[in-house]
Structure 1
Amino acid sequence: MKRAISLRQLAYFVAVAEERSFRVAAERLHLTQPPLSRAVAELEQQLGLRLLLRSPQGVQPTAAGAQALPRFKALLAQAEQLLDEVAALGDALPRLRLALPAWLNLAQLPAFERALRDSGLISGLETQLLPAHEAAAAVVAGRLDGALLAAPIETQGLPLQTLGQLPLSAFVPQGSALARRRSLSLRDLNQLPPFYRFRRSLSPQLYDHLDRQYRAHGFAPLQELPAAELLDVFTRIGAGQGCTCMPAQMAVGRFAGVVRRPLREPVSLDLAWLPARQLPDGLATACAAALRLLLPGN
């Protein structure tokens, strides 16, 4: 016969039996007397015998209650030890170190963290916001367990898993004639030199990947300048100096004097997951699944 008896009921009985008082036991347990009395009564009902005798002089264990008291105390101590041992299993799990793009929409970051923790494969999570080339170098060197980054990119032989694509948009000065159009062609951008791009030395594969797409659509910038930082680029564009192309997600804030216009030609970069060599396959797969929560549109 199965009995629906909880550790809470046993602990309540032990407190009353030791204190010889429901009132004192309730104070010890930081609760009121009614739920304490109900719990002990439910325990007695489940066992089918009286454990405590109530009288105006106080509470006394019955013969059965006196024998049950040390046994229940030992059972509670054993349960506490077992729970400590199980909780300690989490300490043996790895603490995951990941790099994410600084321009990523982090609104879904809590859901991403919950998904990883719910997998039961990690004890904790540490995230850093890094440029793609720095993140890839840290993963290759083993300083990070993985990274979500713009690709293609050099990974020293580590496999990349593409999770999605980000289409590029044009960013032009608000006061320009191009800003009055609903969409732009790449070749329209030569009306607003210079064209800002990141230095090829930072990520040669990604630079060439975008350059091939530009040239396939007949676009070659008449004047090109290296983009130092996003804020610097958008400050210059807002002042009427030049234009650029990048995924809309990279323009994380609204910049005064800058407008975004969709491109008529499809140009995109990949969002890819780069796991480190030391990352177990199961954890790498769980990370890839959770990272999809961070992708645009999710």
Structure 2
Amino acid sequence: YKRLSFHDDFIVIRPDRWDADMHEGTVKFDQIVRESPYLVVDGELPWGFWSVGADPDSPSAGWIIDGMQTARRLFLQHYTSLSIIHNYKEQHPNNRFDENNPPEYSMIVWKKTMITEDSLRQHHMPVSDSYFQKQDGTKVQRNMFDYIRDHLGYRIELQSLQLPEKLQSGKENQLKLGLVNRGFATVFGEHPVYFVLIDDKGKVSEFLTEANPLDWQPFQPGDTAYTPLVHSVNQSLQLQGSMPAGEYRLGLWIPDGSERLKYNPRYALRCANGNTTWWVSEDGKYGVNVLTTVEVK
């Protein structure tokens, strides 16, 4: 049982005779809500030619799957992925509508459905303070498709960093990093968490922490208020006495746990903060979230 998970291949939100009793308020729906925090969850909408372009006499004709309610389900059931094969950009020349002028399927409608921070908070959905802002602080519009795309799986957002004014070589230096997960799900797979120091030549010193991203749940499972959890990465950096004094970049490096992919930056976790620099080493081994610059003395 531990090797199984959930896949809902008929996400339609409103009750339907084909939904296998998987709509909100049913025992099956609640089971996924209860068990999904610890599982990889996937799903898909029905075919758009069935729900949107069906025979006009069919009960499903013109059925647009509601974007906000879909996002809410994906959040409650901790979805890590969602297929875009169905109800997005389909071509079905043998159906009743004009293949050169097909109807707009649900995900196309989602792209035209604009959302606000207030509308998300009313549905207890995760949202970053800066999600509706550009890096320069000006406002930016978001649509339902963008929101679901950006929040499937994990979305790690750094919150705070505590460290000494200067790091001392040959001594222990206490660091504490706070973060939240604004995504729908936790981080699955093995991902060791490191603090790193990068010198002016790009040489990287690694400091493994005890943090486990699998524990970075968006909220405490079972919490019906869905209060975002603040997770901490704590580490005592023991710097060698021979470490040269000078200015370093302090970074957070979360590589893949396998030896084959560990030093491939494409598989390292990148945080969602717009003001956090993503640094890739010249040798192509490291993908690091740069936190700040520090002085070693």
Q: Same fold (TM over 0.5)?
A: no
- TM-score class, shorter: under 0.3
Larger relative helix fraction = 1
Larger Rg: 1
TM (norm. structure 2) is 0.22
TM (norm. structure 1) is 0.22
Structure possessing the higher relative contact order (Cα contacts under 8 Å, 6 or more residues apart): 1
